[in-house]
């Protein structure tokens, strides 16, 4: 009888610890779902373009703002349409290479300006800030970046230079 009582107490303690572990896991999972929902909302509703791309030159993810900036109806359409960022997105062939070289040496690029192609063939100037994300072995897994359309600023700069030239 004493053995049964001791064993019952041990099982009761183990059961209580298990119950606490389950509650803690449920709280953690709930917090993760909330955090994921919040991050998804930021990604989907940001005014700037946000992306992830592979070192081999494919978009993994783009947000609605980047898709719209590039003239696509949806992020999925843009990801599917651009097979190689180097040739299908950047206008100047060496732009992506310069971008990747900067990331390789500094892990982060700020203020990278380039001319990119829209779906309709139009061109826009973008300002890009990005960073390299590495895997557990230290190899570049992907790039993450934020893109802003600076076409209006570039047009204004060009108009100002032209005006100054005429004035001279």
pLDDT tens by residue, 76-115: 999 999 999 999 999 997 899 999 888 888 889 999 999 9
- Look at residue 166 in the predicted model and tell me its pLDDT: 84
Residue 167 has pLDDT above 90, yes or no: no
Considering 4-13, 61-70, 94-103, the range whose residues carry the highest mean pLDDT is 61-70
Closest of 142, 148, 147 to residue 60, by C-alpha = 142
- Look at residue 78 in the predicted model and tell me its pLDDT: 98
- Look at residue 104 in the predicted model and tell me its pLDDT: 84
Cβ atoms of 86 and 97 within 8 Å: the answer is yes
> 155 falls in which pLDDT band (50, 70, 90)?
confident
- Look at residue 168 in the predicted model and tell me its pLDDT: 79
Mean pLDDT over all residues of the chain?
93
Report the SS3 class of residue 11: helix
Count the alpha carbons within 13 Å of 75 in the hemisphere toward its beta carbon.
Answer: 16
Least confident span in 46-55, 119-128, 139-148, 150-159: 150-159
Closest of 36, 59, 64, 53 to residue 103, by C-alpha = 53
Question: Cα–Cα distance between 61 and 66 in angstroms, integer?
Answer: 10
Closest of 88, 150, 90, 87 to residue 115, by C-alpha = 90
- Look at residue 109 in the predicted model and tell me its pLDDT: 94
pLDDT per residue over 23-61, tens digit each?
999 999 999 999 999 998 989 999 999 999 999 999 999
Residue 13 has pLDDT above 80, yes or no: yes
Residue 157 has pLDDT above 90, yes or no: no
């Amino acid at each position: 009888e004493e053995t049964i009582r001791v064993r019952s107490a041990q099982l009761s303690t183990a059961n209580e610890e298990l119950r606490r572990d389950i509650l803690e896991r449920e709280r953690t999972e709930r917090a993760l779902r909330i955090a994921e929902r919040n991050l998804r909302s930021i990604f989907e509703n940001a005014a700037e373009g946000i992306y992830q791309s592979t070192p081999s030159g494919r978009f993994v993810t783009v947000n609605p703002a980047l898709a719209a900036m590039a003239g696509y109806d949806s992020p999925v359409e843009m990801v599917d349409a651009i097979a190689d960022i180097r040739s299908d997105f950047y206008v100047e062939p060496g732009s992506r290479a310069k971008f990747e070289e900067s990331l390789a040496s500094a892990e982060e690029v700020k203020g990278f300006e380039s001319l990119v192609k829209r779906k309709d063939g139009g061109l826009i100037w973008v300002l890009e800030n990005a960073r390299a994300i590495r895997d557990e072995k230290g190899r570049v897994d992907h790039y993450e970046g934020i893109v802003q359309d600076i076409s209006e600023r570039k047009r204004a700069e060009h108009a100002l230079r032209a005006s100054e030239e005429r004035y001279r």
